Amino acid sequence: QKEVEQNSGPLSVPEGAIASLNCTYSDRGSQSFFWYRQYSGKSPELIMSIYSNGDKEDGRFTAQLNKASQYVSLLIRDSQPSDSATYLCAASVNQAGTALIFGKGTTLSVSS
């Protein structure tokens, strides 16, 4: 059974702090990894994709991938109340990266 695991949270951080979200995956064959943000009642919105070991930065967001440890993380710097949402980690189960296994999501709450 291929799985992606995340702590459901809630993760609470004050405004301006760094939020750290973590995820592990079971399928060593997964090649592509994604972080989606989902506001309550809305559809998932892509934040980051990462395909190789190491760090990838995009604005306030940094994704980290360690394939040996089967671990993916997302750091959000200078957290804002608008970052309060559920963050979904996903791993691909096909080469095209179009069939994804999602975790249950981590709920982030940023207080002002």
Interface with another protein by CB under 8 A: which residues? 4, 32, 34, 36, 42-46, 49, 88, 90, 92-94, 96-105
Least CB distance from residue 14 to another protein, whole Å? 26
Q: Which tokens hold the place of 16?
A: 């301006």
Nearer to another protein, 8 or 16 (CB): 8
Nearer to another protein, 4 or 74 (CB): 4
3 state DSSP class of 81:
helix
Least CB distance from residue 37 to another protein, whole Å? 11
Strand order in the sheet with 61-66: 4-5, 19-25, 71-76, 61-66, 54-58
